[in-house]
A and B are shown apart, each in its own frame.
Chain A
Amino acid sequence: MQARPQAGQFEVPDRGGNRFVRHTGLAAPYMYDNVSTDVPAPPAEAAGVAHLGLRGGDLAFANLRWNADGTEKQDFVFNQEPFRRASIMIVGLNYGTGSSRSTAVTLPLAAWGVKAYIGQSFGPIFVTNALQYGVVTVQLPRATVDRIAEWVRANPGVEMTVDLQRLVVEIPGQPPIPFTYNERFRNKLLNGLDDMEEMDPHLAAAAAKRAEDERRRPWVYDYHNP
């Protein structure tokens, strides 16, 4: 049996300007709908694991992953072989909805190196957080996602590839599955662009707009009223 990856095994980069071109790895199915960030990223005290002294990636999915005594819950997918080495998550509808916690991206990244999600849809804030850490959220119709999840269960230990350059998911022995991606997000990921690089050329225009707007809506700029 493969040893559990140790906390801190996968590096979490600084926020912003991170690249993603392609990623090959094992996938784990977690096919529930409307999974909020509370699930992958619970606060340690609320998850009842503060006494275990877990840090970083070991907090990922803490409620579902650890018993109160620190042993693993066997029914959680990342506690099962071969999924404990998975770095691609196959998810359902509206994954990562709820709070704006970027730890919903960084904790699974630290724990298992989760670099790619394939799902029916994603919470809007989760998508922008993932972008900042060089993590992709591939959106496909439910029937396709279901088939991928089925394939993963039937082919444990076989890796797949998410290729953002060519916009395909590649599964051994299957025709490539094309997907679409927000072109601006794709460009940023392929080139590792920071948001500031996009904003910089427009900051003079922003200042001009603010000056003009101050004449139109003076009360908005009356910050320290009273």
Chain B
Amino acid sequence: MREFKIYRKHGRQYIRDLRKAVVAVPFHGRPVISGDITREEAERVAFICPGKAIQASTFNLDLGKCEFCMECAFMLPGKITFTNDHRMATNSREKLILSSGTNEPIHLDHEKIRKEIRSYFHHALKLRQVSAGGDNSAEMELNACGNVNFDMGRYGIEFVASPRHADGLVITGPVTENMADALKICYEAVPDPKIVILAGTPAISGGMYLSNPSINRSFLDKIHIDLYVPGNPPHPLTFINGILDLIGR
């Protein structure tokens, strides 16, 4: 009976339509960059950018390196704006590099999606997660994907305990030297065909740790990456919608 009372207050928590869900502002989502940024302004923001994500010469902002700190937007208000568009996941690394003067939603490159992904994983996808130097915020957001609010399980997408039960790997963190071997073993233990997802800025590009000898990303260069999910950490909606786009739901 007492649980019933709590249950009534708890109410219905799940987000009814994850495809149409909107994140409240201010959210650090897909940035929009105006076309009239001067060279001087570009150099200023490139200089302060902690993730070295901005290139001043041909102005572009790489969401794979962006820490989503919004400092560039504060420096150039009106010219760089972080919108609440959470749909930033894509299978093409180039699509994460945003140039000035464009305001296009980020989509997947359908040409690049391997055929077996949709034939095998369209109805159900089991994923194994490996944190390789992740700071536990991306890991917590991936956990949140399965909670009562986001309930990714409704689509048959779940995280599983063993790589043997998995159809793919979700990697967080910049891949530390000390985790490089374990990550490789885990990848090899996932049966073929398998998909690989990089979740969060450190995983996609190495982030702020890139030039540090404690990082060893050589393994990532050898494997095919099926999805990049930007964010520091990526929002559960970014992750879930990215996967749904990938498996064609």
A and B are interacting partners: no
Task: Give me the interface of B with A, judged by CB distance under 8 Å.
Answer: none
Task: Give me the interface of A with B, judged by CB distance under 8 Å.
Answer: none
